Amino acid sequence: MFGTVWFSLWCLFGVFGVTDELSLVSAMEGDSVTLHTDREMRNNDVILWRFGPENALIVQINVTESSLTVNEDYDGRFRGSVKVDHQTGCLTITNTRTEHAGRYQLQNGHRRTLFILVVYGDLAEKGEMKPVSVMEGESVSLHTDTEMRNYDLIVWRFGKNPIAQINATTQDVTVYNALGGIFTDRLDVDQQSGSLTITSTRTEHSGVYQLQINNIKKLFVLSVYACLPVPVIFSQCLPSSSQYGSVLCSAVNVSSVTLSWFKGSSLLSSISVSDFSISLSLPLAVDYQDENTYSCVLNNSFAVQTQHLDTSQLCSVRGCRTVEAVIRLVAAALVGVAAAAAVVVLLYDIRSRRAELDRTRVSTAVTGS
pLDDT tens digits, one per residue of 83-131: 998 888 999 999 988 788 888 989 887 677 888 888 876 554 455 678 8
The DSSP call for residue 328 is H
Q: Does domain 20-120 have CATH number 2.60.40.10?
A: yes
Question: Do the Cβ atoms of 236 and 288 come closer than 8 Å?
Answer: no
CB-based burial label for 102 (10 Å; 0-12, 13-18, 19+): buried
CATH 2.60.40.10 fits 10-16+228-357, yes or no: yes
Residues of the chain with CATH 2.60.40.10: 10-16+228-357, 20-120, 122-226
pLDDT of residue 214: 87
- Which stretches of the chain score pLDDT less than 70? 1-21, 73, 75, 110, 121-128, 237-243, 274-278, 301, 312-369
Sign of CA dihedral 138, 144, 150, 156: negative
pLDDT of residue 15: 42
Query: CA–CA separation, 25 vs 117, rounded Å?
Result: 5
Burial (0-12, 13-18, 19+ Cβ within 10 Å), 119: buried
CATH architecture of the domain with range 122-226: Sandwich (2.60)
Distance of alpha carbon 186 from alpha carbon 177, whole angstroms? 11
How confident is the model at residue 275, as a pLDDT? Answer: 55
Pick from 277, 272, 252: nearest CA to 260:
272
Interatomic CA distance for residues 246 and 237, integer angstroms? 8
HSE-up (13 A, CA, CB side) for residue 118 = 22
Whole-number pLDDT of residue 25: 86
**Per-residue confidence (pLDDT) for residue 241, from 0 to 100:** 58
Q: Give the per-residue pLDDT at 14.
A: 47
Q: How high is the pLDDT of residue 181?
A: 86
How many C-beta neighbours within 10 Å does residue 158 have?
Answer: 27
Q: State how far the Cα of 17 lies from the Cα of 3, in Å rounded to an integer.
A: 41
Amino acid at 283: P
Rounded to 5°, angle at Cα 247 from 287 and 279: 155
Q: What is the mean pLDDT of the chain?
A: 75
Q: Whole-angstrom Cα distance, residue 38 to residue 324?
A: 41
Instruction: Report the pLDDT value the prediction gives residue 223, as an integer from 0 to 100.
Output: 82
Q: What is the pLDDT of residue 346?
A: 39
